[in-house]
Amino acid sequence: MTKKSLKVDRYLYEVLRQKGPEEFTTTELRDRYIKSLLVSDLNASFVRKYIYKQILRLEKIGVVQRKPGSTGKGSKFVFHDPSGRLHIRSVESPFAPGEQSKAEAIHHSPVTPVSTLLDELKEQIKLYQVELMASVGEAEEYMRLCRRYPPLKERLERQHREARDRSSKLLGQVRAVEAVLKGFSGPQA
């Protein structure tokens, strides 16, 4: 039986392997990633978004696992080395010296193609929906715990309220992106 193949940014994979089973956030990973590239003039926010998209891709196939209860900005992840079950194919980083000009050309061009914009919005809405489901589940669990263990109710109410507020905010974000997407799918003037 042949192993499935996985394409991974070679710098990102090396940073993940060095991290091992230690927990990390996308911001921590971004900092190590930039350091490994030996390039100083990168847009840290853009690199973090790139890292986050890669982490979500790796999370879907089980190479990276989100720590339970970890949602939103500060989410903690753990790397599980897939080399025993997947064939790793290194690809060059779009930020590596020599490749950087390609990344800059793509992401600093004055006009972003509508298809790219729509793809990014669709990806963003998926992220919001996942976080929304996690927040709703968290709020529901706090309510269940309050009913099951009444003595804990006072302690859990604040956490329930925070989870509910996060859910409301995420729902607003989902609706905003959906409205933008709906505007693109409607008749164009």
Q: If phi over 0 gives left and psi between -120 and 50 gives alpha, with beta otherwise, what is residue 72? A: left
> Look-up: residue for tokens 């669990």?
141
Closest Cα to residue 102, out of 111, 110, 93? 93
Distance CA 6, CA 11 (A): 14
pTM score, two decimals? 0.50
Instruction: Output the CA–CA distances (angstroms, integers) from residue 107 to 69, 117, 165, in the order listed.
Output: 33, 11, 33
Per-residue pLDDT tens, the chain, 189 aa: give them: 566 777 888 888 888 888 888 898 888 988 898 888 877 677 888 888 888 888 888 888 888 888 877 676 778 888 887 777 777 787 888 877 764 444 444 444 444 456 677 888 888 888 888 888 988 999 999 999 999 999 999 989 999 999 999 899 989 999 998 988 888 776 544
| DSSP secondary structure code for residue 122 in this structure | H
